[in-house]
Amino acid sequence: MLSASLPGFSAFEDMMRLATQLPHPAIVSLQNEKIIKATDLASLTLDLLEKAVLGSICNQKLKPLNTFPGVDIIRCTNLASAVNITRGLIPRDNIRVETVMGGTRVKDKTTDNPEYICVFGLRQNDVRSSLITDNHLFFKETFVQRPTQEMSVFSRALVEIKQAKPTLFSRHVAFILRVSKSTRTLITYNMHPQIWAK
């Protein structure tokens, strides 16, 4: 059901979780466990995205969330659906959750058990997003050795591909934020240590 809403997400998350266990120096995982009300999840998700994740990456006063391309938000209950979460103007803390397809308003009830999953870095167009700049990269790019006489056929092929399409070897910021009643988990890839320090 989740893979239908966001194809490739399960493999993407598995890869990032595996890399945190290796551990991989570019991947950091942070987890918080505390029970909160279902009716507060959408608001907390938006706060975490704006302040903890996007605020740190962009290092600037944020515009409404939907001005940042490439951030997919999925609301999972019995079914998974892509949603937009926005903050109402009056009152300031009024949170609005709407499905991407159809614009239907969704309200979490106290009896619900939803989970909000926010993903950035899965889709190809994320590479061109305004969230990506050089100072956000932990490793600038995937290393390919310089051509030499002793290179393997595979290494030569990588060098040729890199020369033809260097963007395929660029490393960019990616993150997965999961917010549920019991747990909040953030996994980031290529977020510079100075950004984590903030």
pLDDT tens digits along 37-84: 999 999 999 888 887 676 666 554 555 544 566 788 999 988 889 998
DSSP tag of 92: T
Could you tell me which of 147, 148, 176 has the C-alpha nearest to residue 160? 147
Per-residue pLDDT tens over the stretch 86-114? 887 765 558 889 998 888 999 999 988 99
Mean pLDDT of the chain: 78
Which pLDDT score, from 0 to 100, does residue 192 have?
Answer: 62
Burial class (CB in 10 A: 0-12, 13-18, 19+), 52: middle
Among 19-23, 53-57, 186-190, where is mean pLDDT lowest? 53-57
Under DSSP, the state recorded for 32 is E
Other CB atoms within a 10 A radius of the CB of residue 113 amount to: 14
Query: 115-147 burial by CB neighbour count: b if 16+ within 10 A, else e?
Result: bbbbbbbbbeebeebebbeeebbbeeeeebeee
